[in-house]
Structure formats: structure tokens, C-alpha cells
Structure 1
Amino acid sequence: MSRPDDLLEQPTIDDVYEQLEALEETVDTADERTEVRRTMRLVDRLSHNAAVGKVITEFTRKDKAEAFVGSVIVGLPMLVEDGVITVGTHLAAHPALLLANLAFTAALVVGILYVADFREVQIHDPYVGVVPRRPVWVLVIAFATAAGLLTLWGRVRWSEPWLALCQASVVFTAMAIGGSLGDILPGED
């Protein structure tokens, strides 16, 4: 029976093993023992998975590469979509909507990284003491990738910088989502 103090402590894999070993001794049939042993093997495999229980604190070159790959994978189909040009033209004519789109994109990235709880991501060493590094880099990488690929593929003309910026912002939205997912979903850090 657990003591009240035990309820305050964070359980560990060893606690799970102990409970399974105790259960193994109390089951009545060979089938039940087999199921308990199978569960113990599953816990063993999970305990060796580096992603389980790992808290993300740093933003390394590997994270930047993952954000870039995620940006490309999610945003690539948008680069050839003519709707991007149309939506970008609309945003260029309505600067308030462009600002709303940029705020929406930043909120999505922060939500994916810190709120959606895919993995535990903590803020360490923020810029100027307040701005978290991870979303800043994800957003910068996504925008640079969007602008760079749109330019490379001749989808935007920078002779009209405002229009090109607004059109790039549309692809940027998708790439920022992909970049944040690419950064946190791959497993080991």
C-alpha cells in the first residue's frame, strides 16, 4: 500500500517494474504471467527510447535543420499553387490582414511548440530576457525558405517588394507550421 508521501513523488520506470513484478507474483495462470512479461518488455523498450520523458531545452543546429526540412516538406506544394499569388495580392492590398496573418502564424508556431503538448519544450535563455529563441528561429527559417524558394522558382518578382513580401508570407504560414512540427516531432535530440 502506498504512503501519502509516495503520491507526491514523480513515478519512475523502476516503479513500474516493481509494480509489474509484484503483479507477476500474484497472477494465477501461465497466460496471465505471459501478458505481464510482455508488458515488462514493452516498458523496457519504452524506457530505452530517448524521446520518452525528454525535455527539450536547447535549440541546436540539428533543430534548425529539422525546422528547415519540416518547412520544405509542408510548404513545397504551396510553392507551385497559383492561389498563393492571389492571396498574396489580396494581403498586399490590405496591410491589416497581412499583420493579422503574421500574428496568426506566430501564434500557431508558439501553440505547436509550447501548448499542443507534443513534447515538453521549455524556454531557456530567451532573447532580451523575454523572447523565446525556438519560435524566433522557426519563423526566420520558414520565412527565409519561403522567400528563397519562391525567388529561385520565379514565383515572385522582387521588383515589386511589397507584393513579393506579401506573397511570400502566404507560403511562410505553411512553412512555419511545418518547421515547428519538424523541429519537435523527430524523436531524439
Structure 2
Amino acid sequence: MSESALSEDTRAGPDGVDGGSTLVTIEDLFSDLSELTADDSSAETRSEIRDIAHLLAEAHERGLIEPSAPDLRVRDAAEAFVGSVIFASPLLVEDGIVDIADHLFGTTPYGVPVFLIANTCFVVLMTYALIEWTGRDKGEARMLLGVVPVRLVMTLVVSFLVATVLMTVWGRVGGWQSPIEAIARINVLWTVGTLGAALGDILSEGDPAVVTRAGESARSDRRPAPEIVDRIATTDSETGSASALSDSELVDAIHGEFDDLESVVDDSADRREINRIRNQTIQAAFDDEIQKYTSRDIAEAFVGSIFFSSPFLVEDGVFDVAAFFLSFRIGYFPVYFLLNTAFVPVMILALVYWAGPKDVRMSRPIFGVIPRRLVGTAAVSFLTAAALMAMWGRVGGWADPVIALARISVVWTVASFGAALGDIFPGESSGTDINDDLAAIARLAVEGGSIDRSRER
């Protein structure tokens, strides 16, 4: 069976239930297979289940099926370090860092650098959103004080140290003659470096292959946990043959093994269970269709807009482009500004629905026509651009709101591209649809109002 046909057969879960609403992990799949092994003592059934287990282990090694709670490793810190250096380095030569830093520590009502504190809080929120709120909910294996993810602390610390060292070595902190000014400059670079550190950590495709004595390659850190492997015995020879398959061949092999397993099972309930596991397996690893629009999609758009817009915040060319937008008018209407404003939603539509990397379906549109993802992406990217431009002092203190809006629109254009890609690139997010969340909030509000009125009576 081809991969396209496979995805069409498995997008809906068993009995018509959408399988994309729940994250299926390698632990879940091995647990389900173990239950089938326990329920049936047939040697033939056990053999087929072992074959499926080998293929699932290979899919896990390739990063197609993830564990439920990724553990923090030294390698993650190294990946965060590399990502931070890559993102922060281009900004080291930008004089805009100095201007932004002057704004951050120069605004001090009652002696408090409010923008410097606000930017620091923003960095923490942005990093937390990128690590915890985007994509599918995988959780964190280690928490500090039971609340703060250790990965968040690691990312913030590594990126801050990288920004401090780079700014000091490259002579961008004025020799630390004014510590608060130096920290403000580092804070600007840290904002971008933290984004790179988080992405460098979480977007890594896994550890490189480790060469064994026999000359075979094995990604040891991506192996399922020992207690999972113990449930279903595997052999090196079969695992090695699975590693030679391409992703599409692995899809066909998984489907074929499930067909073989179904053929040796007589009980109809077991067959339904096998189909359920099959659907969950393919849904977890290979389904690229996106239908739901959740709060996690909003968080992903937020992070993506920061990712794309940050380099433009330090560029003075933004001012020149904004001035050009307002230079040509017909009557009272700035033509180029309006054309650019219309261009942004068209590009969002193109990236999300027409030319993007995922198969995105429009579901539950506003008024039956307007895509929710278009409105959400445009709104999130605009608000992000406006907040960053205002916080970093790039709108001239709002002395002229029209000029400020034109400058924001320049950054918004780029931010919208990042928001669109940041939303759809991770795939369909876990969680409930945002319409259902809003409906639940509305019900609670109505019920609360009814209770209050009854008490007044």
C-alpha cells in the first residue's frame, strides 16, 4: 500500500474517532502490544507482534515516534549552545543593539528600568512558550521545584552566558564601564540567542549514529526505555534489516506486519484492537494533515513571528521602508502602505493553505467563509510586532501614530511569514479545538451569571 493511500485510510481513528487529538507515544504502542501478547498465547501471534515491535523501535530511533517525556541530556545543552551562537552572531555587528539597549535601560520611572524588566520577562515567556506550548504535549521529564521545567532553565542560562561572552569578547559592552548599560546590551542579544538555543535543542533530529564493534550503526540514546524493550523481546538481526528501509518502505512494512497479525487472530475484539493500534501508529508517525485550530497553534504563531521579526528590529532600514510606504498618496490614502497591508493576508493564505509544507484543511471558518487560522496568524503576528517595536523603542515614542503604524507594518510583514510557518510546520497540535475552548468558557460564564442572579433573588 502506498504512503498516500495509507494516510487516507488512517486519518480517522477507529470507529470514526479522530486520532490526531491525542498524542500517541512509543510507550503507549509497546504497552498495547504487550497486552495483546498477554491475551494470546499463540506462538504465531507472538512472532508477528515481535516483528511489529522491531519496526516500531526503528520508527522511534528515527524520531518518527517520540517518547512521552523527553529527558534532558548534556547533548541538549550543547545543541542549545550552538543554536544560540548561530542566532546571536549576526546581531553582534548591528549598531541597532546599542540604540535598543539605550531605550531599555534609559526608561526608568521611579528609578526602575521598566522596559529592561519587561524584555527579560518577555524572553522567559517566549522560551517557555516555545518549549512547552508548541506542537504536541510531550511534557518534561525533569522539573525544578516541581514547577519549573529544567529545560527552560538550561536554555535561558546557556543563551545568557553565550550572549555575555560574545558581547564581551567582541567589545560590544563598552568594557563594562557601566554594568547596567552592558547588561541592557546583552539583554537585547539574549532575546534572539534564547530563541536559537530553544530551537537548537528541541528541533534536533536526534543523536548521531554510534558505531558498534561489528560496524553496525545504532542510535543508542533513542532506544525505547529498557523496561519497554523487556516486554517484547527483539533481536539485532531483525532490527538491522528494518534500519535499511526508507521511511516509505517502513510505512509499508508496518502495514504489512499488522495485516499478518490480523490474519492470525481469530477473535473479532482482538482484530478491532489491532486496527486501533495500527491507526494510532500511523497517525503518530506519518500523518501530515492539519484540521484543528488550538491554543497551541496560537503559541506557535507567536514564536514563529518572533523568530522571523527579531533580525528586523535592529535594522534602521525599517524606518526607510516605512517612510516610503507613506510617501505616495492618492488623496488621503497611502497607496503602498495599503497594498502591503493587503499583501500580508494573501501571503498567509498562500503559506498555510496553498504552498506550505503541510496539508492544512480549513475547518469551522468564521461566518462560514473566513479561515480562523488566517485571522489568528495575522492578529498574533501584528500584536507581536507592535509589542516588540514599542518595547524596543522603534516607534519613536508614538509621537506620530501613523509613522509608528507604518514601521510596525514593515516588521509585521515578515512576522506574519514566521507566524504562518511556525503554526503549521510542527504539524497538528494536541489539545481541543479553540472553538470548543471558547464555548466551554461561555458556558461557564453563563452558568456563573445564573448562579449570581439566583443568589440575588
Match of 1:12 in 2: 6
Give the 5 Å matches for 1:59-138.
59-94=293-328, 95-138=334-377
Is 1:148–2:391 an aligned residue pair? no
In the alignment, structure 2 segments of 5+ residues that lack a partner are 10-240, 255-280, 329-333, 430-457
State the Cα deviation string for residues 57-93 of structure 1 (Å, max 9, x = none). Answer: 1211100000000000110000110000110111122
State the Cα deviation string for residues 84-128 of structure 1 (Å, max 9, x = none). Answer: 011011112231101111111111110000001411111111112
In the alignment, the residues of structure 1 paired with residue 243 and residue 405 of structure 2 have an alpha-carbon distance, to the nearest angstrom, of: 59
Counterpart amino acid of 2:347?
L
Is 1:183–2:391 an aligned residue pair? no
Say whether the 8 Å CA contact 1:84–1:170 is kept in structure 2: yes
In the alignment, the residues of structure 1 paired with residue 404 and residue 388 of structure 2 have an alpha-carbon distance, to the nearest angstrom, of: 12
Match of 1:42 in 2: 250
Moved more, 117-126 or 63-72: 117-126
In the alignment, the residues of structure 1 paired with residue 285 and residue 346 of structure 2 have an alpha-carbon distance, to the nearest angstrom, of: 25
In the alignment, the residues of structure 2 paired with residue 72 and residue 84 of structure 1 have an alpha-carbon distance, to the nearest angstrom, of: 16
In the alignment, the residues of structure 1 paired with residue 242 and residue 399 of structure 2 have an alpha-carbon distance, to the nearest angstrom, of: 68
Give the 5 Å matches for 1:163-178.
163-178=403-418
Cα distance change, pair 56–36 in 1 and its aligned pair in 2 (3 A): closer
Percent identity of equivalent pairs: 39
Is 1:162–2:434 an aligned residue pair? no
In the alignment, the residues of structure 1 paired with residue 428 and residue 293 of structure 2 have an alpha-carbon distance, to the nearest angstrom, of: 13
Taking structure 1 as the reference length, the TM-score comes to 0.76
Cα distance change, pair 36–58 in 1 and its aligned pair in 2 (3 A): closer
Taking structure 2 as the reference length, the TM-score comes to 0.33
Higher relative contact order (CA 8 A, sep 6+): 1
Say whether the 8 Å CA contact 2:319–2:407 is kept in structure 1: yes
In the alignment, the residues of structure 1 paired with residue 282 and residue 291 of structure 2 have an alpha-carbon distance, to the nearest angstrom, of: 20
Look at both structures and tell me which one has the larger radius of gyration over its CA atoms. 2
Counterpart amino acid of 1:104?
F
Counterpart amino acid of 1:110?
L
Cα distance change, pair 48–35 in 1 and its aligned pair in 2 (3 A): closer
Secondary structure at the counterpart of residue 286 of structure 2: coil
Corresponding pairs, count: 163
Say whether the 8 Å CA contact 2:290–2:428 is kept in structure 1: no
